[in-house]
């Protein structure tokens, strides 16, 4: 009898003391969501690749430059492509498109401004109540600010915004 009791406790220990497949899957999920990205970042950092940081820095610079472009008056934003220059309306609000060094790369900036004609129906004749269609010649400008960098492989980011003549 004591032999059967010892065998039963041995079976119970295996049943409760072992690791189930569900526990293994949960452990792999935790490892893959936490340690895998950290390990990949560490390997990329050790290899000297910091392109993710470059993307983040270039995007911040593009956002700052777009804010300066939006501070310009509508008529002062020139149509066409501008690059490697300063577009100045006044000294404190100058849009600087000259190259900037980010990390180990030189980032070149360009601003492409296109005229976007806008049609809208907003004018009503008081006598007849009919809506007239009006085409604005200088309705909106599409501003595309581009940053390009990279020695071995070229990387680029575009930031697009629209400015209306209000």
- Each domain of the chain, given as residue ranges in start order, spans 1-49, 51-166
pLDDT in tens, 112-165: 999 887 766 556 677 777 766 655 555 788 999 999 988 788 888 999 999 887
For residue 11, give the 3-state DSSP assignment: helix
d(C-alpha 89, C-alpha 100), whole Å: 21
What would the pLDDT profile of 37-80 be if each residue is shown by its tens digit? 787 777 766 765 556 677 888 888 999 999 988 888 888 888 89
Which pLDDT score is estimated for 16? 59
**β-pair partners for 87:** 95
pTM, whole model, 2 decimals?
A: 0.59
Residue pLDDT, tens place only, 4-40: 555 555 555 555 567 888 889 888 888 778 877 787 7
Distance (Å, whole) CA 108 – CA 81: 13
Token duo for residue 160? 């697009």
Please state, in angstroms and rounded to a whole number, the distance separating the CA atoms of residues 16 and 51: 48
Structure tokens at 8: 């039963």
Matching residue, tokens 């969501």: 33
Q: Tell me if 146 sits within 8 A of 110, measured CB to CB.
A: yes
Tell me the mean pLDDT in the region 97-126.
Answer: 82
Separation between Cα atoms, residue 23 and residue 16, nearest integer Å = 13
């Amino acid at each position: 009898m004591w032999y059967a009791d010892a065998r039963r406790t041995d079976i119970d220990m295996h049943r409760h003391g072992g690791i189930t497949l569900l526990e293994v899957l949960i452990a792999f999920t935790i490892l893959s969501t936490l340690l895998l990205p950290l390990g990949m970042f560490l390997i990329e950092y050790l290899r000297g690749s910091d392109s993710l940081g470059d993307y983040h820095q270039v995007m911040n610079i593009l956002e700052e430059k777009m804010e300066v472009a939006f501070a310009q008056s509508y008529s002062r934003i020139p149509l066409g492509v501008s690059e490697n220059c300063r577009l100045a309306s006044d000294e404190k609000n100058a849009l600087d498109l000259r190259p900037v060094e980010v990390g180990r790369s030189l980032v070149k900036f360009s601003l492409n401004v296109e005229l976007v004609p806008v049609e809208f129906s907003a004018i009503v004749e008081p006598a007849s109540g009919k809506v007239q269609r009006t085409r604005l010649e200088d309705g909106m400008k599409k501003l595309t600010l581009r940053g390009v960098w990279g020695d071995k492989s070229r990387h680029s980011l575009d930031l697009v915004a629209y400015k209306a003549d209000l």
